[in-house]
Amino acid sequence: MELAYYSDYAVRLVNTEEPARGRDSLTTVEAVKELFGPAGQMARRVTEADLPRFRTIRGRLRAVFTAADEGDHTGAVDLLNSLLLEFPVSPQISGHDHLDDEGRPRWHMHLADHSSNATAGYAAISAMGLAFHLTEFGADRLGLCQAPPCRNAYLDTSTNRSRRYCSDRCATRANVAAYRARKRLEAERADRDDLTGRTAENNQESTAPAER
């Protein structure tokens, strides 16, 4: 498992909340466990005490994405560094459970979990994964969806750094909204031009000399 993979942990946690809509799906132990995905061993350690702790880490990770999205890359790095210092990880080489076609281990870096609780473990791997993504691709690759009211976090992996939305659904919704806005503007301009034209015609008629 490559270290950059762990950046998805940060995205998944941040997107459990939709502040503009007042929604929060991080309300049960089961919801927290689902965030771990295939890392079932780590998920089994989740307790009720982790719920408020996870929400705190979520806010700190969202702050990283917000700073990066606003162009404050130094601020994003400082916020991420504070998480890395508070929640250190233990990188290890793994591969015995991933063999190639010839039966040889596919060696890769793995983040071992030796944390005291589920929140600390999740915070450590998500912060480290996000750090690897940021240093590999740049802070401007961390973004928040530009389709209001959605502000979901995303990682831009496009070749030309052009991503602006968290999903195809939001991109489509934003494009439709922009199209309708253009059509309304065109209609308003047409109405103004028509009104201006009629006013000019009326003025010409009122100032024209009367026929004898």
pLDDT one-digit tens code per residue, 117-172: 999 999 999 999 999 999 999 999 999 999 989 999 999 988 888 889 999 899 99
The pLDDT tens digits of the residues spanning 49-61 come to 999 999 999 999 9
Beta bridge partners of 144: 153
The encoded tokens of residue 49 equal 């005490």
Query: pTM for the complete prediction?
Result: 0.78
Tokens 């719920």 belong to 51
**Predicted pLDDT at 126:** 94
What is the arithmetic mean of pLDDT over 171-180? 75
pLDDT in tens, 121-132: 999 999 999 999
Angstrom distance (rounded) from CA 11 to CA 68: 14
Please state which of the ranges 46-55, 72-81, 107-116, 141-150 shows the lowest mean pLDDT: 107-116
3-state SS class at 67: helix
Q: Which two tokens stand for residue 204?
A: 């010409």
User: What pLDDT, on the 0 to 100 scale, is given for residue 1?
Assistant: 43
Q: Decide which of 174 and 52 is more confident.
A: 52
Q: In 3D, which of 68, 36, 66, 54 has the Cα closest to residue 135?
A: 68
Write out the E strands in the chain. 17-18, 23-24, 90-94, 108-112, 142-144, 153-155
Asked if 107 and 95 touch (Cβ cutoff 8 Å), the reply is yes
- In 41-182, beta strands by DSSP E: 90-94, 108-112, 142-144, 153-155
Task: Using alpha carbons, select from 66, 61, 65, 68 the residue that is nearest to residue 82.
Answer: 61
| Cis peptide bond upstream of 105, omega within 30 | no
Average pLDDT for the chain? 85
* Range of 105-109, 144-148, 196-200 with top mean pLDDT: 144-148
Q: Is the pLDDT of residue 89 over 90?
A: no
